[in-house]
A and B are shown apart, each in its own frame.
Chain A
């Protein structure tokens, strides 16, 4: 998949810009929203830079949508400060909304109008020159794969088509920042891959900052440069995937190793590798082993086993997967129930 191959490059670029301290296009400091006694968002700090895809990940009710509404100036923060594209959303909501393309959670369109008419309305609300708009709408509709159905009423669209129309709608104003609330919810897997690919290209090709929220981590992890894990209104972890894994695992790491042979031979062989502290057989698949040890083990293990004549047919680092990171944070926060709900 295209987004996979480019992920390495983008991660590298993001890390570079982090070092250089590129100015954030979305910046939140101590952003807080309180509804009565409920603290929906609790002192959120957030930085998103141009050209990166930032994932705001958390269970339903974690405060993701509230945060997005505050960043757009559609809801007033109880405390704290935000700056989006150089403007304060509370004081200059119009300036912010001119520069931010927004696709709400469960995006809706006027069913009696066609896809093209819906986009045209958005373009008019943005005051885009009508002479320039038609060609642009054609391009956008082709880009999201809706060129064939552009002149059909939206009420005939499938859920996935609406979602893609939502993406085109967010791009109509050529935004510097794109905010997508749950962009992959309720689309079939093929549709998800398409949508993610589009999201990746928004950041790559347009240089826009993309802030997306999701509770479906395994879907969006491949497209996010950085993520913030958001539980109960608070960010419990923020950074690149690798950094989060490092934060979680500390100095040790866990590997899943697939090797064949009698257990009595294999276990000592694994323990003999320098740096390995623990070896356990996988509970479900007897051919898999879980090896815990120092970071250096990862580089050494395969060679050491090969030296003993044991062929490694599977080697995977556990804990790099966002879902696992997420689950562990949830376990820490004791918020596992929310996820099940």
Chain B
């Protein structure tokens, strides 16, 4: 197989660079310099719009419309909304019951997201999002390309004057937009709940932290979107593709720590009479290995961003622990979260890149 001819061009080479408005004013198509002049009806293409967005924007617009009206979006909003309300209700109840101790403590608003009551069975909101978020990404991506193949719309779509990558770029953009929509809606719901139940008014630092967390979550869920799209490009049936994506998600969620533990013990064994150095080396290796997983990277970002007292997610020996936890300003937390954030973006880009390359190299009829 060879790269498709469309792939060679980069967006913007189509020569549609006239000033906006000219085409509309004169009623002439923009391709005045084309080699074959129009000679009557049927010879020239129709009058073009004066505004020409990239093809990916048209694709994204249509796909986003589909997502917003889809039943799967409704199901996911209900699922995540219920989880969020349950988690935050449990946390607010706990906070209210212990209001005396809470007075004067900083970062109470963000703690609503990341903390849970010690007596409750319900995990904190962020944990629920980390658990269920991948489902959101998979839902919007698992049938992105093979769905078009199944409906036999792909040949018609790529025969339109758009670049082939506009199809996959548009679909990715639409998926990210739908994910952002859901996450922002849920976050606003939770914030509103906190506001009305406890009367906590978030400060600028809180808002910055929560907004950063939403962005990081979109990127994390974007990784799963990209992975599900890769499955949809490689696997022909939508059901197989969904199953593959969900299996990987489950394996990473349930068995990642088990696997990293086994590998770390094999590479850096801890004997019964292990020294402190050996134990630390093993733990460090296990942590490094687990950072291959986007879930681990995301949870570290979340820990830094939403908890101002967190100064390290690495191994801290008791003697390194500060006596009184200090509160970090937002910029410092962001700085700490930066490497993990970049790694998360990198993983997402690599995953989307793989889907992109495979899609571009596929035959239309495949």
Contacts and interface: CB of A to CB of B under 8 A. Distances in A.
Interface of A: 50, 65, 69, 72-76, 85-87, 89-91, 93-95, 97-100, 102-104, 106-112, 121-122, 124-130, 132, 136, 166, 169, 173-176, 206-208
Contact of A104 (B50, B66, B159, B363): B159
Given A86-B36, A169-B156, A128 B151 contact: no
7 contacts: A86-B35, A125-B55, A125-B58, A127-B48, A129-B47, A175-B42, A207-B41
Interface string B141-168: 0000000000111011111111100000
Interface string B1-29: 01111100100001010000000100000
Nearest 9 A/B pairs, CB to CB: A108-B152, A86-B36, A206-B42, A104-B155, A125-B160, A102-B159, A98-B161, A129-B49, A97-B161
A104 B3 CA distance: 21
A109 B154 CA distance: 9
Contact of A207 (B6, B42, B46): B42
Contacts of B14: 94-95
Interface residues of B, number: 45
A128 B158 contact: no
Given A125-B157, A173-B45, A174-B46, 10 more contacts: A65-B365, A76-B4, A94-B163, A95-B161, A102-B155, A108-B152, A124-B58, A129-B48, A129-B50, A176-B44
B166 to A, nearest CB: 9
Contacts of B24: 129
Interface in B89-109: none
A93 B45 contact: no
A93 B151 contact: no
A126 B41 CA distance: 17
Contact of A122 (B16, B36, B61, B160): B160
Given A97-B159, A125-B55, A107 B152 contact: yes
Contacts of B6: 73-74, 93-94
B109 to A, nearest CB: 41
Given A74-B155, A108-B151, A97 B2 contact: no
B5 A106 contact: no
B162 A174 contact: no
Given A76-B5, A102-B156, A126-B161, A132 B62 contact: no
Contacts of A94: 6, 9, 14, 161-163
A75 B156 CA distance: 14
Interface string B41-77: 1111111111010010011011000100000000000
B188 interface: no
Contacts of B155: 74, 102, 104
Contacts of A208: 42
Contact of A107 (B156, B160, B363): B156
Contact of B5 (A65, A91, A107, A128): A91
Interface of B: 2-6, 9, 14, 16, 24, 34-36, 40-50, 52, 55, 58-59, 61-62, 66, 151-153, 155-163, 363-365
A110 B157 CA distance: 11
A128 B46 contact: yes
Contact of B45 (A74, A98, A108): A98
B1 to A, nearest CB: 9
Contacts of A122: 156, 160
A264 to B, nearest CB: 61
B364 A125 contact: no
A110 B153 contact: yes
Contacts of B152: 104, 106-108
A73 B5 contact: yes
Interface centre among B2, B46, B48, by most chain A C-beta atoms within 10 angstroms, is B46
A160 B159 CA distance: 22
B48 A104 contact: no
Contacts of B4: 74-76
Contacts of B159: 72, 74, 97, 100, 102, 104
Contact of A128 (B2, B40, B44, B48): B48
B72 to A, nearest CB: 12
Contacts of A132: 46-47
A153 B7 CA distance: 33
A125 B365 CA distance: 21
A97 B160 contact: yes
B340 to A, nearest CB: 39
A174 B42 contact: yes
A86 B365 CA distance: 26
A104 B159 CA distance: 9
A75 B7 CA distance: 11
Nearest to A96: B161
B153 to A, nearest CB: 5
Contact of B151 (A72, A76, A110, A130): A110
Nearest to A86: B36
A127 B52 CA distance: 6
A32 to B, nearest CB: 14
A74 B162 contact: no
Given A74-B155, A106-B152, A129-B47, A174 B161 contact: no
Nearest to B156: A104
B41 A69 contact: no
